[in-house]
Amino acid sequence: PHAGPVEGKNEAAMSELVPEPRQKPAVPMKPMGINTNLLGYIGIDTIIEQMRKKTMKTGFDFNIMVVGQSGLGKSTLVNTLFKSQVSRKSSGWNREEKIPKTVEIKAIGHVIEEGGVKMKLTVIDTPGFGDQINNENCWEPIEKYINEQYEKFLKEEVNIARKKRIPDTRVHCCLYFISPTGHSLRPLDLEFMKHLSKVVNIIPVIAKADTMTLEEKIEFKQRVRKELEVNGIEFYPQKEFDEDLEDKTENDKIRQESMPFAVVGSDKEYQVNGKRVLGRKTPWGIIEVENLTHCEFALLRDFVIRTHLQDLKEVTHNIHYETYRAKRLNDNGGLPPMTVETEENHESNL
C-alpha cells in the first residue's frame, strides 16, 4: 500500500533531474559535429591569402653568395639562375681588372620582379678566392663578412627603438663551385666547407659540367659526396634540420642523388627545333642549359628558387643566426654592447 507514493516521489524526483542532463551534453557536442550548412562559412581559409597580400606588399629579400676560383662560370651561372644580368661582371666590370691579391667581397643589389612578386636580390661575389699561390686561410674574409651581417642584424634587433622591419643582409645561401677535375676535392675545398658549413647554408655545385663525359660526371659526383661524408661536412639541406618525414624523404633524395649539382650556365639563346633555348654552342651541337639530359641546372634552379628558397631563409634565421646570437650575447654577459667603443673592442677581439 505504501509503494505507490514512494514510486510517485521517485518519479517526481527523476522528472526534476531529467531535463538538466539532457541539456548539458548539447554544449560539449557542438564543436564535434558542426553542420557548416547550418552555421555558414567562417573564413579561416583566407588566412593564407592575407599573409600572401602582406608579403607581396613588403617583398622578399634573398642574398646569395658565390664562391670559387676564377673562370668557373660563377657570374654566368647566377645570371642564368635569375635570367637577368645580376652578377658583378655584368655590372660594369672590365676585363683589365687584375686578380685581387686577397679575397675581396663585392655585393650587388637588384630588384627582380615576376608576376607581381618583388624580390630584392643581392649577389655577393668573392673575387680572388683560391687564385693565389698560397691560399692558406683565404676563407677567413668570407667568414668575417658572414658574421658581420649577423652582427649588423643583431645590433638592429637589440636596439630599444628598433625598426619594424630590419634590413636583412645575412647570407641565405652560398653556392660553392667545385672545379670539374674528375679527381678528388682540393684541400682548399674541404677547408672552406669545413669552416663555413657551420655558419652558412652551403650548396656545392660542380661547375662547367660539360667538360666531363656522363660516366665521369656520375663518378665524380659520387666521389665528392663520399669525401664530404668522410670529412664530416654537412651541406644544405642538413639532416638534423629536417622537420618531418615528408621533408626527410624529399631532402634525402636530393642529398643522395642530386648533390652536388653538375651545372652549365649560359646567358646566350639559340634556336633548337624551332624553340628558343639557353645554351652553349660547341662544334658537335648545342648544350641546352635547362635540358636535364644535358645538365642539372634545372634541378639546381628548382631547388634554390622554386622549392627551398623560403627554407634557406628560415634555416639562416633560426639556426645559423640564432647560434651566432646566443654566442655573442653569452660572451657579452647576456647583454648587447652598451657603447660604440665597447662594440669595436669586442669585434676586434672576435
Integer angstrom CA distances of residue 142 from 17, 137, 149: 78, 10, 11
What's the pLDDT at 38? 61
The β-bridge relationship of strands 173-178 and 60-67 is parallel
What's the pLDDT at 178? 93
Least confident of 77-81, 86-90, 281-285, 298-302: 86-90
Least confident of 30-44, 229-243, 250-264, 276-290: 30-44
Of residues 267 and 9, the one with the higher pLDDT is: 267
What's the pLDDT at 16? 52
Contact 98, 106 (CB under 8 A): no
- With cut-offs at 50, 70 and 90, classify the pLDDT of residue 36: low
Residue ranges in the chain assigned as alpha helix (H): 3-17, 19-23, 26-32, 36-39, 47-58, 74-82, 140-157, 187-196, 214-230, 245-253, 297-301, 309-315, 322-331, 340-349
For residue 302, give every residue at least 6 positions away whose Cβ sits within 8 Å of its Cβ, in sequence order, or none.
none
For residue 262, give every residue at least 6 positions away whose Cβ sits within 8 Å of its Cβ, in sequence order, or none.
180, 205, 206, 209, 212, 217, 220, 221, 295, 296
Cα separation, 262 vs 228, in Å, equals 16
Percent residues over pLDDT 90 in the chain = 30
Q: Is the pLDDT reported for residue 13 higher than 70?
A: no
Q: Is the pLDDT reported for residue 169 higher than 90?
A: yes
What's the pLDDT at 341? 45
Amino acid letter, residue 307: T
What nine digits make up the cell of 182?
674528375
- Domain ranges within the chain, ordered by starting residue: 58-89+97-265+296-332
Which of these CATH numbers, 1.10.3720.10, 3.40.50.300, 3.90.180.10, 2.40.160.40, describes 58-89+97-265+296-332?
3.40.50.300
Region 50-55: mean pLDDT is 87
- Looking at every residue in the chain, the average pLDDT score rounds to 81
Region 18-33: mean pLDDT is 50
Buried-state track 201-227, b at ≥16 Cβ within 10 A, e below 16: bbbbbbbbbbebeeeebeebbeebbee
